[in-house]
Every structure is written in structure tokens, then in C-alpha cells.
Amino acid sequence: MPELFIGGRWTAAVDGHVREIRCPADGTLVATVDEGGPKDSAAAVAAARDAFDRGPWPGTPAADRGRLLIRVADLLERDKDAFARAESLDTGKRLVESEYDLDDIANCFRYFGSLAASGGTDRAVDTGDPAVDSRVVHEPVGVCSLITPWNYPLLQTAWKVAPALAAGNTFVLKPSELTPHTAIGLMRLLAEAGLPDGAANLVLGTGPGAGAPLTTDERVDMVSFTGGLATGRHIMAAAAPTVKKIALELGGKNPNIVFADAEFDTAVDYALMAVFLHAGQVCSAGARLLVQEKLHDAFVDELVARARRIRLGGPFDEQARSGPLISAAHREKVEAYVAAGLDEGAVLRCGGRRPDDPALGDGFYYLPTVLDDCTPGMSVVRDESFGPVLTVERFRSEDEAVALANDTFYGLTGGVWTQDSGLAQRVASRLRAGTVWINDFHPYVPQAEWGGMKQSGVGRELGPAGLAEYQEAKHIWRNTAPRPQRWFE
Ligand code: NDP
């Protein structure tokens, strides 16, 4: 069956191109899928435009839209095993992690379904004039281009698709060319749940080929993108001539601050998880460890000892705790950042190379790496390497910790570890980041907004603001007793 989904029909790419999808854990062929290009994207935009302008979805009562999304959550739970397996084969991530993701994905659909069904944020406005009936209502933005990355393929997709549909939009989804399978599966479930034809469209293909037209087409009203900073800047500029609404989630270089009084064993454990989860391919990763001077040596020694013991392996290796990087090109990028860090004076404490184990030789593995004695100017500290690479810096005072933490053009997340709740709260309020964890790292819930300050992005996903991104507020003013005004007399 062809894999592009346009106007409610499964279709092959106009130019007949296909792409082999290979598992990053061992290079085995997962499947061959259709590879769309500009003509397919144009057809998908036309279908989404038509469905928005003439189809039933935007005018469907919000409560019914909500019910459909809750049905999608039920279907995702029904098909959880197949989705988790598909996600792991495309990304190489451990099956158990894909299973966690699937729970979060179903929750995301359930949350936005409930939010839509609850009636939303429309409100009456008191104008002070009893003859005026004034209301602010929320309407869908229109046709949305949703462009998603390879690290959490279906999760990032759900964070966009669920609120976009809850608000009554129609969309064209373009997942990463490397990880298309769960997006294909989601289209099937949306159709099964009863979404009208054309409300959801899927184009597969590369960023420049299939993605770029979705950011410039004047029939598109909004672009929501998650991915790298360079691509985000590019997309923002591409969307500017037609003044599209923009939502961007562009990652981070997130500080994890450990004060000397932190609970030692837990803080070490979480510092490892913060950075090495999914081989560091996480936008919220705690990739910059800031440790108070007097704790530094003991903390880093213990962390390095435990990092050396992390077992690497493929999705179905139950002993493995971390998997491969997504591609050969991505591993080379990570290697280049580590080499630059060492050139600039960082001290390699562990990792810094590919594993020796011949069983891992066909995958894109890279050992968990700790670089000590780092300084803020190093490129490995500044830029998102998006790999299993932890940089360590020291601080003496609270002010120095905050200054180092905020010395980044990103602002997505941050963590602070201390048993002093006053200190924790002060630091949390001074960090310029969209999410701050105190004595924790990585958790999120669909009810709470997610997004970045500074160059980590524009707008918010999840929470009520995540729905508002996909809405336009409209003020309707009704004069119930109009009389001539005689303004010009
Ligand atoms: P990109 O930002 O290039 O890709 C993200 C998505 O955008 C993909 O679907 C991609 O398509 C698409 N895309 C690329 N170029 C364009 C374009 N001109 N117009 C429209 N869509 C486009 O991520 P990469 O995979 O190249 O990763 C680069 C870096 O981005 C990583 O090393 C990491 O630092 C960061 N990153 C951040 C993520 C986050 O969660 N914030 C997630 C993933 C990466 P395709 O890939 O199919 O060509």
C-alpha cells in the first residue's frame, strides 16, 4: 500500500521515488516507503485547504472534536505494541522507551480531547454598555504545516496533531525522512476514528524536497516545527513573506546544576539519566553539568564510573540501557564536537569513541562521554551536539551557577539539585528556561506548557497555551440597540 496520505487517499509519490528505511541499531532494512517531493506537498496543501474551507471539520462542535481525539487515544492504546515496535525499528531506541512514549502519546490525545470537549476559553466581555453583547471566541488558524524530527517521532507529532485537530484545523504532516512509520500508522488511526477526508494529510520526504514547500505555500496559515536551530531559522525566514503564524521548538543546551548539599546518590543517578537518555538525542537533555567546586571531584568520579557501565544495545536487547545514534552523519557530527572540545582544552574522562564490541559494529553507536574542565566558550558546551556527551563546569557561588547556566543562547530546560528549598526556588526563578526541574530531570505532563525562551523557540506546546497556538481569537461585538450616531453631522 502506498504511504502518502492526501485528501483521505493513500497514494504513491508523483515522481515515483522511494526511500529505504534502515534500523540505526544494525542497518537492517525496515521497509521501503514512498518519498514525496514538492508536487506531493502541493497536493497535500490543496487537500488540507479544501477540507478547511469546505469540509466539516472546522465547524464540527468542539465537544465532538474532543470525542474523536479521545477515540484516537483508545486506538493508540489498542495498537500500542505495534506502534512501539515500529518506533524502535525506525529510531533504534529501546523498546521499553518506545512503550513509555506510547503511553504519553495516548495521554496527549486524551488531554487535548478533554480540553476541546470542556468548551474552551470563549468568554463574554463586559463593555460597560448594556446594549452591547461582546464575546471573544476562538477559531482554528486554518491549514497547518506540521514538521517533526526523528528523535521522538510520534511524540513530537502528537504534541502538534492533537491540539491542531482539537482547535479545528486541518494539517499536512511531514515527519523526518528517517522515521516515517508511526506517522503512517497515526493516519490510519485518524481515519478509523472518523476524521473527515482531507483534515489530516501526510507527505513523506526530505526537508528541502517535501518540507520546504510547506513553509512557503500561501495556502498554508501556520507552520509548527520541531528540530534543529539552523532549520528553525531557515523556516522562520521562509514563512515570513506570507506572514504565517509560527511555532518553533528548537532544542536546548540545558544546564543541570548540582549544589554541594544535593542528595549525592540521587543527583548522580539523575545526572546520568539527564544526558544519556536516548543516547543524548533529547531536546531537553541535561548536557551541561554544573557542579559546585567542593563536590566536583567526588561527584564526577562517581558519575564517570557509572557512565562506563552503561550497556549499549539495540531495541530488543533487554540488558541494554542506551541505543545508537540516528545515523552515520549524526554520529560524525557528535564526534566532531568531542574532537573540538578536546582541542579547546576539555579533559576526556570516559567515552570519546565508538564501542569496541563487534556486535555493535553495524549500528551508529557512540560511548557515553564525559568531558571535564569545560568552559562556556567551547563549541561542545555552546552548541547542541545531540549525542551522549556531558560537559562539566565548576562553580563556587549561587550567582556564578546562575550566570553559567544562563550563558547560552538556548533556554529550553534546566535542573537544580539542592536540599535547600529557598536556594532551589531562587535559582529556579532566575533560570531563563521554559521548564525548570528541582531535584528531578525530564518529567513533563500534557497539562503543563512546554517550550523555550531565547533561541530555543517561539510559542508553547502542551497545556492550554499549546491549544491556543492553533487558535485565532476573534472578538464579536453585537450592538443590540443600534441608533444613528450622526458622527458627520
Ligand atoms: P532538522 O532540523 O534538519 O529536521 C527536523 C525536520 O525538519 C525534519 O522533518 C526535516 O526533514 C525537516 N526539514 C529540514 N530542512 C527543512 C526545510 N528547509 N524546510 C522544511 N523542513 C525541513 O534536524 P536534523 O535531523 O538535521 O538534526 C539536526 C540537529 O537538530 C540535531 O543534531 C539536533 O541538534 C537538532 N534536533 C533537535 C530536535 C529537537 O527536539 N529540538 C530534534 C531533532 C534534531 P528531513 O530530516 O526529513 O530531511
Contacts 24+ apart (CB under 8 A), 326-332: 326/24, 326/91, 326/92, 326/150, 326/151, 326/178, 326/179, 326/281, 326/364, 327/24, 327/178, 327/364, 328/364, 330/281, 330/364, 330/386, 330/387, 331/364, 331/365, 331/366, 331/387
Residue 20 CA, ligand 1 centroid: distance in Å: 19
Q: pLDDT, tens digit, for every residue of 266-278?
A: 999 999 999 999 9
Residue 71 CA, ligand 1 centroid: distance in Å: 30
Instruction: Give the number of the atom of ligand 1 that is nearest the alpha carbon of residue 174.
Output: 9
Please tell me the predicted confidence (pLDDT) of residue 7. Answer: 98
Q: Write b or e for each residue in 334-373: b if 16 or more Cβ atoms lie within 10 A of its Cβ, otherwise e.
A: bbebbeebeeeebeebbbbebbeeeebebbbbbbbbbbbe
What are the catalytic residues? 249, 283
Please tell me the predicted confidence (pLDDT) of residue 373. Answer: 98
Q: Which residues contact 257 (CB under 8 A, 6 or more apart)?
A: 290, 395, 401, 405, 414, 415, 416, 417, 427
Residue 204 CA, ligand 1 centroid: distance in Å: 14
Q: How much is the pTM?
A: 0.97
Please tell me the predicted confidence (pLDDT) of residue 235. Answer: 98
From 144, 152, 231, 458, the mutation candidate for ligand 1 (largest count of ligand atoms within 8 A of CB) is 231
**Cell numbers given for 199:** 483534515
Q: How many alpha carbons lie under 13 Å from residue 396 in its C-beta half-sphere? A: 0
Residue 38 CA, ligand 1 centroid: distance in Å: 18
The mean predicted confidence, pLDDT, of the chain is: 98
Please tell me the predicted confidence (pLDDT) of residue 119. Answer: 75
From 45, 90, 176, the mutation candidate for ligand 1 (largest count of ligand atoms within 8 A of CB) is 176
* Cα angle: 418, vertex 419, 422; to 5 degrees: 85
pLDDT band at 154 (very low <50, low <70, confident <90, very high): very high
Please tell me the predicted confidence (pLDDT) of residue 121. Answer: 78
| Section 111-134 average pLDDT | 93
Residues flanking ligand 1, CB < 6 Å = 147-151, 174-177, 206-208, 211-212, 215, 226-228, 231, 234-235, 249-251, 283, 384, 386
- Picking from 204, 212, 174, 149, the residue whose alpha carbon sits closest to that of residue 36 is 204
Flag whether pLDDT at 70 surpasses 90: yes
| Section 427-433 average pLDDT | 98
Residue 397 CA, ligand 1 centroid: distance in Å: 37
| Section 103-124 average pLDDT | 93
Flag whether pLDDT at 391 surpasses 90: yes
Flag whether pLDDT at 120 surpasses 80: no
pLDDT band at 1 (very low <50, low <70, confident <90, very high): confident
| Section 245-261 average pLDDT | 98
Amino acid found at 118 = S
| Atom 26, ligand 1: residue with shortest CA distance | 228
Q: pLDDT, tens digit, for every residue of 44-69?
A: 999 999 999 999 999 999 999 999 99
Q: pLDDT, tens digit, for every residue of 336-352?
A: 999 999 999 999 999 99
